A and B are shown apart, each in its own frame.
Chain A
Amino acid sequence: MLIVMEILWAIPILAILMSLLGSNRVRNEYVNLSSSAAVFVTALVLLVFSPNKPQSHVSGYILISPFGNWVTLCTGAVYLLASIYSTGYMRILNITGSQAAKFYGLLEGFALTMLIVPFMNNPGLYWIAIDFTTIVSAFLVGFEREAESIEASWKYLIVVSSGLSLSLLGIVLFYWAGTFHLGPVYSMTWATLHSVAGKIPASLLLTSFLLVLVGFGTKAGLAPMHTWLPDAHSEGPAPVSAMLSGALLNTAILGIVRFMDVLDGTKASIPAHLAVIVLGVFSLSIAAMFIVRQQGIKRLMAYSSIEHMGIIAIGFGFGGVLGIAGAMYQMLNHSLNKSLLFFGAGNAMRSYGSKEIDRIRRVLSFYPVTGTLWLLGAIAITGAPPFGLFQSELAILRAGIGGRNSWAVWVIGLLLIVIFIGFMNHFRSMFFGLEPTPDGSPTMQFNGWLEVPMWLSLAAILVLGLWWPSGMLHFFTEAGKGL
């Protein structure tokens, strides 16, 4: 399977090299499209044909595990959708020549860094890979070079880097505590840390876990470290927002989950799970408050990402077969659904020429097709049936009932209702509000590149909501045994 992973990395590298070679726009578009399609297929192959047990390669530096492969598949899916959408989006922005080459090169680079992250078996190298995703994506956020987007990208870089420095501190502390039992030099992998965790005093374990949680939680957008997220998601170009939200956040959650797994079986495990659940619930409440009063359309989507990361964190915090299965399922559903919403928001923003919800009115009468797709996506993102997120959120809630932290289930249920009402109210005013649009009717027509990815993601979340094959539950069960 190592060879498949190498192919997975080689594809975007090749694409980056090709984007460096020339600035022919159409060629760069097709290079990026083929790169993303190939990445998606390879990720699928990796997921289907990998053995059920995690396996390490290259003297313990590489870890191929079902959980990592699942995150990779989410990344691959979003990269493919975002690439199709980018083709249309860059055309309506009229970005050509070297600017387009730069954009596609960065997009491929961003995908590459996210494809490296899940395979890092050394927590330190995982940290560095996460850091590289930040660097590349900061340039994508600031791509449009407006005052707001540069401000957002600056904030993103400074908040996330300082957060991540805390997780480095946590990793160093953990490794140091391990030297008392394994000698001054030992290989730093998830497995060795797990093997030594039982011998380290619980309070030190918990200290390093909390540092790691705050650090990677910053990157994953868990409140109260989420402050960079709404800015970065709202100011980057729409396909970049989709990649940030749908793919990047999952890769950061992976680190938290693996560290939580390291603590499994120790005394620190229960408080660690509780800490993750508390952060998750707090993220949900922050998201609920800001969704209800939101004015910017892309910021609305961004707060919904914070909500979903909260739910995923809670799922892993509940643990158990159902909790982990629900959280992993939620990752994929979130990736697909959030891409759909950001594409819809990008379309609306371009046609109405505004990011303000107040200025987007009567979408259905101007854009019956994309409007319907977007509206269905919005219904799906709030967790309504029959879409995928309903299934996964239900699974997570069921995992919590009767467990140690069942209080959280009631809070989540309440907050989900608030979020549903708040979210739908904004869509009601945009779709069925009767007042005329302030700036006249929008005239822009969408090309197929902007619509096809919306169809694709809607179809996927509908299928995932209606059909949960028995093999999938088996896969999640096996994946949960070795994260």
Chain B
Amino acid sequence: MLTAHLNSLATSLFSFLMTLALVLSFVMLGSHWLRNHVLAFAAESWVIAALSASVAYYGHYKELYVIAGLTALFRGALLPYLLLRLVNRLKIDREFTPLFRPASGMVVGAVLILIAFALSSSIGDKLGITNNITLMALTAMFGLNLIGFLLMVVRSEAISHILGLLVIENGIFLGSQILVPGLPILLELVILFDLLIIVMTFGILVRYLKVHAGTTSSRDLQKLVG
């Protein structure tokens, strides 16, 4: 177990990074400017890369250095670059038809984090876990998942949907760095690669949407019902 023998510096570092990742997801919830979303996502990916690197250092998982590097490169640089290019090309600056105002969105987000915490503590009780880092990793994983889904539900722009999905994936990735750092490296590499392909596919489809359907907002995509 990685979390069993950590010194207090490592513990604080891990909690700091996980908290930062959660805070960044609130930045996304609180802003309607797509550019800010992409930048917050990029920052969150860098935080996760830093987390991978520190797990590699404190847990002696050398291959996680590779994962950290690739996370920073793919999730922290390449994906945000592709998304920003998409935002610029489509000339969509902001989300026009959100279901909630930013403030209400953040309140709902906070409630979701509480739910995630309750879920994690109940799992922790079942498994007899007293370690705070493990509980926090579970909370961050579930919390980011829920916030990702919230982003997808309350926003209607196609790019917001992609970002929501990426936040969900970030959550799973963050959780797995702490919980299962020994997860086969092949799997992590393929997931990174898979994510890149998914985002490229999304990019192509969003541009088709703009050209052939004339809109990229799910509110206007109402042709197929029943």
Contact = CB atoms under 8 A, between A and B. Distances in A.
A285 B87 CA distance: 41
A112 to B, nearest CB: 15
A165 B1 contact: no
B107 to A, nearest CB: 23
Interface string B196-222: 011001100110110011100000010
Given A142-B208, A172-B175, A128 B1 contact: no
* Residue from B205, B206, B226 having most chain A Cβ neighbours under 10 A: B205
Given A128-B190, A135-B197, A184 B182 contact: yes
Given A154-B206, A168-B169, 16 more contacts: A125-B190, A128-B191, A128-B194, A131-B194, A131-B198, A145-B212, A150-B213, A151-B209, A152-B224, A154-B205, A158-B161, A169-B141, A172-B183, A184-B182, A188-B184, A204-B126
B205 A153 contact: yes
The 5 closest A-B pairs by CB, nearest first: A185-B182, A147-B213, A184-B182, A124-B187, A176-B179
A155 interface: yes
Nearest to A203: B126
Contacts of B201: 135, 138-139, 157
A172 B172 contact: yes
A147 B226 contact: no
A264 interface: no
Contacts of B25: none
B158 interface: yes
Given A162-B152, A172-B175, A176-B179, A299 B226 contact: yes
A132 interface: yes
Contact of A207 (B123, B158, B161, B187): B123
A158 B184 contact: no
A296 B214 contact: no
A155 B224 contact: yes
Interface size class of A (residues with CB under 8 A): 35 or more
B121 to A, nearest CB: 13
B165 interface: yes
Given A151-B223, A295-B226, A157 B141 contact: no
Contact of A187 (B127, B184, B224): B184
A235 interface: yes
A157 B172 contact: no
9 contacts: A147-B214, A148-B224, A151-B224, A153-B205, A155-B221, A157-B202, A162-B165, A179-B180, A290-B226
A396 B181 CA distance: 43
B74 interface: no
A292 to B, nearest CB: 12
A147 B214 CA distance: 8
Given A172-B176, A184-B1, A125 B187 contact: yes
B145 interface: yes
Describe A's contact surface by its main secondary structure: helix
Contacts of A146: 212
Interface in B4-37: none
B112 interface: no
A155 B201 CA distance: 13
A245 interface: no
Contacts of B176: 172, 176
B39 interface: no
A201 interface: yes
A159 to B, nearest CB: 10
Contacts of B148: 165
Contacts of B162: 158
Interface residues of B, number: 46
Nearest to A156: B205
B81 interface: no
Given A122-B187, A179-B1, A165 B168 contact: yes
Nearest to B137: A176
Contacts of A161: 165, 198
Contacts of A145: 208, 212
Contacts of B223: 147-148, 151
A157 B85 CA distance: 20
A129 to B, nearest CB: 10
A294 interface: yes
A147 to B, nearest CB: 4
Nearest to B178: A176
Given A145-B208, A147-B213, A147-B214, A177 B224 contact: no
A296 B161 CA distance: 28
B2 interface: yes
B110 to A, nearest CB: 21
Interface string B81-107: 000000000000000000000000000
Given A125-B190, A142-B208, A165-B168, A294 B226 contact: yes
A175 interface: yes
Contacts of A299: 226
A184 B226 contact: no
Contacts of B126: 201, 203-204
Contact of A142 (B1, B141, B205): B205
